[in-house]
Chains A and B, each alone.
Chain A
């Protein structure tokens, strides 16, 4: 079957670094996506990994290990506006996205 897990909630301090983990199980894999969703808004695309390794994009980086079924999103220099839910999703063999329930990130001053 297919399964994807991420922590329900995390808290971090403004200016700090936080790592949000995501593990998945799938019979077919075509990439791992991270989306950001502010409360009451639509998800917006952050990053995509299809090969092992780290993809860096400004303050945000995403890592993938296909052999371990593991990804993380790293957020540096946290700002209050980074308070949001972060959604992990993998693309299965049918090119459909399978979504985790999301990690609510709370940033404290």
Chain B
């Protein structure tokens, strides 16, 4: 069982380019999340999805979009990348039906926008 996988591991991107970060989980969790992590700041929620077919905005959604066509996949798209989107991006999932809504994280994508 792989858990959560993310791709790519790292990427250098020119400003203005479009980029999709991929996230796949095989735990059949109903909820999935995208966070960014910047030095000196806590993890900040970008978008989330409580179940396939639905998405919601987190704390810092501007410049990002998501889709949740099925349970396993939750891609994050930067339509036109800007340098302030340089960050480490983590995807996470959780089973909202459980007693404890523990989030499990993927290995992260390190993105640099020049």
Residues of chain A having any CB pair with chain B under 8 Å:
4, 30-31, 33, 41-45, 48, 87, 89, 91, 95-102
Contact = CB atoms under 8 A, between A and B. Distances in A.
A41 B104 contact: no
A87 B106 CA distance: 16
Nearest to B108: A42
A45 B4 CA distance: 14
Interface residues of B, number: 19
Nearest to A30: B101
Contacts, number: 43
B43 interface: yes
Given A42-B107, A96-B45, A96-B48, A31 B40 contact: no
Given A42-B106, A44-B105, A31 B42 contact: no
B42 A87 contact: yes
Contacts of A41: 107-108
A33 B102 contact: yes
A28 to B, nearest CB: 14
15 contacts: A4-B42, A42-B107, A42-B108, A44-B105, A48-B100, A48-B102, A87-B42, A91-B101, A95-B101, A97-B43, A97-B103, A99-B42, A100-B42, A101-B40, A101-B41
